[in-house]
Amino acid sequence: MVSGPGMPRIGVLALQGDFEAHARALGEAGAEAVPVRLPTHLAGLAGLVIPGGESSTLLKLAARDGMFEALGRFARAMPVFGTCAGCILLARRVLRPEQQSLGVLDATVERNAYGRQVDSAILETPTALPGGPLETVYIRAPRIAAIGPGVEVLAERDGDPVLVRQGRLLAATFHPELSMDRRVHRLFLDIAAGAGSGAERAA
């Protein structure tokens, strides 16, 4: 893991999924990436990334050692960035099928809405972020079917949000860690920097 003086410590939930790719992306964006496998690992973090993977499997793994409850406390108090399955876990409501979630992001998310693994795609997506279109990598991607009034849309695919922000929460239905473009991770670091401290109370 990349580390250095003054670098924010950002956790990456390392229960499943490509958490190592997120760790590399965070390092390139200017953070120290810290693997998170137990509730105690959340202490002292400036933010947390919940990577993609399989959301139902992620729920089963998070049910151990009180991790799901610890994630909920952290997400209600601190910056969290969820990608793909992480986006599903953050959502207030999950469809196809319905399943448990942390319920912190005011959004309804449909699982596997863009098809199976063979329907994966790499697209150039217009975005509100400076710097032009984003390269967006979709792998069994969910769809954000509805959002609340406090959720800001930063990128869309066919009229549906694919990158959204709600205060200190950021969520993407694609995999920014699989692109060489680090704008989304840098945005999350900016969110974490603006949120201040308080991780010890959330852990």
Q: Which helix (H) or strand (E) holds 172?
A: strand 169-172
Residue 199 DSSP SS3: helix
Tally Cβ neighbours within 10 Å of residue 77.
16
Q: Which residues are catalytic?
A: 84, 175, 177
Between CA 28 and CA 185 the distance in angstroms is: 9
Task: Quick: pLDDT tens for 86-106.
Answer: 999 999 999 988 999 999 999
Which of the pair, 157 or 112, is modelled with greater confidence?
Answer: 157
pLDDT exceeds cutoff 80 at 199:
no
The pTM of this model reads 0.90
Which residues touch 190 (CB under 8 Å, ≥6 apart)? none
Task: Quick: pLDDT tens for 112-154.
Answer: 876 655 457 899 999 999 999 999 999 889 999 999 999 999 9
**Region 5-25: what's the mean pLDDT?**
90
Say which DSSP state 119 is in.
G
Between CA 183 and CA 187 the distance in angstroms is: 6
Which residues touch 152 (CB under 8 Å, ≥6 apart)? 164, 165, 166
pLDDT exceeds cutoff 50 at 67:
yes
Of 164, 175, 146, 183, the C-alpha closest to 50 is 175
In percent, the amount of the chain with pLDDT more than 70 equals 91
Residue 81: predicted pLDDT: 98
Residue 88: predicted pLDDT: 95
**Region 5-18: what's the mean pLDDT?**
87
Between CA 146 and CA 28 the distance in angstroms is: 32
pLDDT exceeds cutoff 50 at 200:
no
**Region 59-78: what's the mean pLDDT?**
93
Q: Given pLDDT bands bounded at 50, 70 and 90, which one contains residue 201?
A: very low
**Region 60-73: what's the mean pLDDT?**
92
Q: What is the mean pLDDT of the chain?
A: 90
33 close to 188: Cβ distance less than 8 angstroms: no
